Amino acid sequence: MIIASTSTIHGGNYLEYLFPTLESHFQDCTEILFVPYARPGGISHDDYTLTIRLAFAKINKKVKGLHEFENPVEAIENAQGIFTGGGNTFLLVKQLYQNNVMEVLAKVVENGKPYLGSSAGSNITGLTMQTTNDMPIIYPPSYKTLGLIPFNLNPHYLDADLQIKHMGETRETRIKEFHAFNTIPVLGLREGSWLEVVGEKILLKGNLTARLFKQNEIPEELEPETDLAYLGK
Amino acid sequence: MIIASTSTIHGGNYLEYLFPTLESHFQDCTEILFVPYARPGGISHDDYTLTIRLAFAKINKKVKGLHEFENPVEAIENAQGIFTGGGNTFLLVKQLYQNNVMEVLAKVVENGKPYLGSSAGSNITGLTMQTTNDMPIIYPPSYKTLGLIPFNLNPHYLDADLQIKHMGETRETRIKEFHAFNTIPVLGLREGSWLEVVGEKILLKGNLTARLFKQNEIPEELEPETDLAYLGK
């Protein structure tokens, strides 16, 4: 699995900063199955899939949208590799449950099918979607997600701006509120960082540190190449 | 009702900017019933209530916490005035349902009991909590809220910072996603703004404009003193 904080970094094109990683990650795939359910900005499944098709064309991969298949469970079972894009996590989770693909998606990725997630598509690899930054625009049947890593993610992690005069909660305050009621560790993954999950290892990649929050503990900054698998032990 | 974007503006003390308004709003009350359920930063009901007690002491009002009563429904029925403070909206809504007070709270406020909300406590006066900025740290049985105004609120409304290099969604993008699936109008209420609901009128107060979002329409800026009651007609 490649689990990215964001699809796009400032000044770059869609997925561009990840192309070298993706070329090796998807080396055995000629076609990627794209899960368009998160619909950023409310765009249609077709429009979203077209964007992804154009991006993956640059590394010579074809793309099919999951919505193009009559049987989405079979489509996931038969896929060579899978990419779930960002958008709204509530919508994504609702659609995954509604189409009965949450379970099969977890199963095939656990069995080694190459998976890429960005933003909302990364969020769902955690135990629950409860540390998303998104608005609850739709009511999902559960907040439980794929559970492919033994913690939760906060993608697009943002440090508090000490200059700002806005009184809304900082990201750190929100995660602290989460930990008033939940014991699951939370990894704040900054834009430009990603996790590379191979075998038993969960490695932090990119040039930045990531911020790890645990219940009743002071948050810590993790260096690139840290293996986070220990959180599941 | 006084429905405030925030409890505190930058550089001020808790509720301070609203004191002149609150003195007249709560003029017939010697004691305010405080709903501490939203627990900002996960603080306890007691600690939160103490903060509020100290703030209201400055305008000579006593404060009791709703959690101090054995029968919360009766406490709400008997209150002279009610204040619901900010924090996490998911937690607030979950607790309101769990303690069976959502319905009675709507009823007494509709019948004219003075109500103050800030942030999460304002959010719940709308039709649903779906345009909150908070994290889903807890799973509420429904997103439906008090429905005392004929639209939804986005408190702490924040304009997009065009200088910023962060790629996370802007507030406007999030509300646009909401409108891909919902027809309810959304009022982006900036910090320092509040709504004054008296009789049939819903007046925008404070010095700032507010941003109104409707499905499939270009957002518009509303001037102070605009009456928003027309949104329910």
Running DSSP on this structure, what letter comes out for residue B101? -
End-to-end Cα spacing for chain B:
19
Concerning whether A45 is annotated as a catalytic residue, the answer is no
d(CA B196, CA B147): 15
Cβ distance of B131 and A135 shorter than 8 Å? yes
- The predicted pLDDT at position B87 comes to 94
φ/ψ of A56, rounded to 5, equals -70, -20
The 3-state DSSP class for residue B204 equals strand
Number of Cβ atoms within 10 Å of the Cβ of B146: 25
Contact B34/A at CB under 8 A: no
Closest CA to A218 of A190, A182, A189, A179: A179
| Shortest CA distance from A14: residue in chain B | B167
Q: Which residues of chain A from 127 to 186 reach within 8 Å of chain B, CB to CB? A: 129-139, 142-143, 156, 158, 165-169, 173-182
Count residue pairs from A and B with Cβ separation < 8 A.
Answer: 133
Nearest CA in chain B to A44: B180
CA–CA separation, B157 vs A131, rounded Å? Answer: 20
Identify the three-state secondary structure at position B83.
strand
Q: What is the pLDDT of residue B2?
A: 98
- Tell me which of B7, B134, B179, B193 is the catalytic residue: B134
Domain boundaries, given as residue ranges, for chain A: 2-232
Question: Hey, what are A111's tokens?
Answer: 């069995």
Query: Which of A119, A122, A179, A193 does the annotation list as catalytic?
Result: A119
Give the DSSP letter of residue B41.
G
Chain B partners within 8 Å of A166 (Cβ): 10, 156, 158, 191
Q: CA-to-CA distance for A159 and A66, rounded, in angstroms? A: 35
B88 contacts A177? CB cut-off 8 A: yes
DSSP string across chain A: -EEES-S--TTS-TTGGGHHHHHHHTTT-SEEEEE-TT-GGG--HHHHHHHHHHHHHTTT-EEEEGGG-S-HHHHHHH-S-EEE--S-HHHHHHHHHHTT-HHHHHHHHHTT--EEEETHHHHTTSSBSTT--S---S--S-SB----SSSEEESS-----TT----SPPHHHHHHHHHTT----EEE--TT-EEEEETTEEEEESSS-EEEE-TTS--EEEPTT-BGGGGG-
Distance from the A156 Cα atom to the nearest Cα atom in chain B, whole angstroms:
6
H-run or E-run covering B205: strand B201-205
Q: Among B8, B41, B132, whose Cβ lies nearest the Cβ of A173?
A: B41
* Interchain CB distance below 8 Å, B130 and A136: yes
Q: Do A178 and B137 touch (CB under 8 A)?
A: yes
Q: By the 8 A CB rule, do A26 and A120 touch? A: no
Please give the residue of chain B at the shortest CA–CA distance from A168: B156
Candidate list B5, B119, B122, B193, residue with the active-site label? B119
- Tokens 């007609």 belong to residue: B233
Please name the helix (run of DSSP H) or strand (run of DSSP E) that holds residue B102, with its range, or none.
helix B102-110
- DSSP label at residue B156: S
- B135: amino acid identity, one letter: M
Alpha carbon A99 to its chain's center = 19
Residues of chain A with pLDDT under 70: 162-163, 167
With a CB cutoff of 8 Å and minimum separation 6, the contacts of B230 are none
User: Which of A134, A167, A181 faces B138 most closely, judged by CB atoms?
Assistant: A181
Give the chain A residue whose CA is nearest to the CA of B131: A135
The residues facing A152 across adjacent strands are: A186
Instruction: Read off the pLDDT of residues B214-231 as tens digits, 9 standing for 90 and up.
Output: 999 999 999 999 999 999
The question of whether B28 is a catalytic residue gets the answer no
The distance of B10 to chain A (nearest Cα, Å) reads 6
> Does the structural domain A2-232 have CATH classification 3.30.70.240?
no
Best of B37, B156, B162, B169 to substitute, by most chain A Cβ atoms within 10 angstroms, is B169
User: pLDDT at position B41, please?
Assistant: 86
Q: What are phi and psi of A117, to 5 degrees?
A: -125, 145
The interface predicted TM-score of the complex, written ipTM, equals: 0.91
pLDDT at B162: 67
Three-state secondary-structure class, residue B2: strand
Neighboring chain A residues of B137 at a CB cutoff of 8 Å: 130, 174, 177-178, 180-182
User: Which residue of B lies nearest to A154 if distances are taken between CA atoms?
Assistant: B135
Contact B204, B193 (CB under 8 A): yes
Give the integer Cα–Cα distance in Å for A71 and B101. Answer: 44
Q: Which pLDDT belongs to residue A162?
A: 67
Residue found by looking up tokens 């996590």 in the block? A89
B33 touches B75 (CB < 8 A): yes
Taking an 8 Å cut-off on Cβ atoms, the answer to whether B168 and A177 are in contact is no
C-beta separation of B120 from B134 below 8 A: yes
Low-confidence ranges of chain B (pLDDT < 70): 162-163, 167
Place of tokens 């200059």: A163
Is A161 a catalytic site residue? no
